[in-house]
Amino acid sequence: MSVTLFTNGSVWPGTSKSPVQKAMAISGGKIVAMGEAALAISSDKTLDLQGGFISPAFADGHAHPLFGGRQSFGPQITGLETIEEILAEVKRFADANKDLEWIIGGTYDPAIDPNGNFDATLLDSVVSDRPVVLNAMDFHTIWVNSEAMKRAGVDTFTGELEIGTVVRRPDGSAMGTLREWDAVNLIMDKAPLPSMDREIRALEYSSKRYASVGITWWLDAWVDRGMAEAYLAAEEAGVLLQGVNLAFRADPRSWEKDLPYFLEQRALIEASKKNKNLTAKTIKFFADGVIEGGTAALLEPYTNDPCYHGMPVWKWEEMTKAVIAMDRAGFQIHIHAIGDAGIRASIDALEVAIKTNPSWDRRPTIVHVQLLDPADLPRFTELGIIANFGPLWTRQDPMQAVSSAPRIGPERTDRQYLMRSLIDNGTRVAFGSDWPVTSEIPLEGIAVPVHRQTPDRKPEGGWMPHEAITIQEAFQAYTHEVAFQAFEDKNWGTLAEGFNADFIILDSNPFEMDPHDVPKIKVVQTYRNGEAIYSQ
Ligand SMILES: [Zn+2]
Beta-sheet pairing, 10-11 with 3-7: unpaired
Both 117 and 224 in one domain: the answer is no
In this structure, which amino acid lies at residue 264? Answer: E
One DSSP character per residue, 3-27 reads EEEEESSEE--SSTTSPPBS-EEEE
Both 491 and 428 in one domain: the answer is yes
Both 516 and 385 in one domain: the answer is yes
Beta-sheet pairing, 174-179 with 165-168: antiparallel
CA 376 to centroid of ligand 1, rounded, Å: 22
pLDDT at 78: 92
Both 98 and 231 in one domain: the answer is no
CA 62 to centroid of ligand 1, rounded, Å: 6
CA 124 to centroid of ligand 1, rounded, Å: 30
CA 130 to centroid of ligand 1, rounded, Å: 29
CA 16 to centroid of ligand 1, rounded, Å: 26
Both 214 and 82 in one domain: the answer is no
Is residue 21 assigned to a domain?
Answer: no
pLDDT at 17: 81
Count of structural domains, the chain: 2
CA 63 to centroid of ligand 1, rounded, Å: 6
Is residue 527 assigned to a domain?
Answer: no
CA 486 to centroid of ligand 1, rounded, Å: 16
pLDDT at 403: 82
CA 125 to centroid of ligand 1, rounded, Å: 32
Report the 10 Å Cβ neighbour count for 516: 15
Is residue 378 assigned to a domain?
Answer: yes
CA 286 to centroid of ligand 1, rounded, Å: 9
Both 236 and 343 in one domain: the answer is yes
Helix residue ranges per DSSP H, 417-489: 419-424, 442-445, 448-451, 471-478, 480-485
Is residue 57 assigned to a domain?
Answer: no
Choose the final residue of a domain: 144, 160, 188: 188
Is residue 92 assigned to a domain?
Answer: yes
Select from 331, 301, 295 the least CA-distant residue to 313: 295
Both 209 and 114 in one domain: the answer is no
CA 434 to centroid of ligand 1, rounded, Å: 5
Both 181 and 272 in one domain: the answer is no
CA 309 to centroid of ligand 1, rounded, Å: 22
* Distance, CA of 478 to CA of 466 (rounded, Å): 21
SS3 114: coil
Choose the final residue of a domain: 158, 188, 218: 188
CA 21 to centroid of ligand 1, rounded, Å: 35
pLDDT at 163: 85
- 432: containing domain: 196-520
Is residue 51 assigned to a domain?
Answer: no
Both 157 and 296 in one domain: the answer is no
CA 260 to centroid of ligand 1, rounded, Å: 24
Reported residue count of the chain is: 536
CA 482 to centroid of ligand 1, rounded, Å: 15
CA 129 to centroid of ligand 1, rounded, Å: 32
Is residue 529 assigned to a domain?
Answer: no
CA 392 to centroid of ligand 1, rounded, Å: 13
Whether the CB-CB separation of 234 and 198 falls below 8 Å is answered with: no
Report the 10 Å Cβ neighbour count for 242: 22
Both 382 and 322 in one domain: the answer is yes
pLDDT at 139: 84
Whether the CB-CB separation of 488 and 497 falls below 8 Å is answered with: no
What CATH number has the domain bearing residue 329?
A: 3.20.20.140
Both 102 and 155 in one domain: the answer is yes
Is residue 530 assigned to a domain?
Answer: no
pLDDT at 115: 85
Mean pLDDT, consecutive 10-residue stretches, the chain (536 aa), reads 96 89 97 97 96 98 97 94 97 96 93 91 97 92 97 92 92 95 93 93 98 98 96 96 98 97 97 94 96 93 96 96 98 98 98 98 98 98 98 91 91 97 98 95 98 97 97 98 98 98 98 98 98 98
What CATH number has the domain bearing residue 107?
A: 3.10.310.70
Both 431 and 487 in one domain: the answer is yes
Choose the final residue of a domain: 170, 188, 206: 188
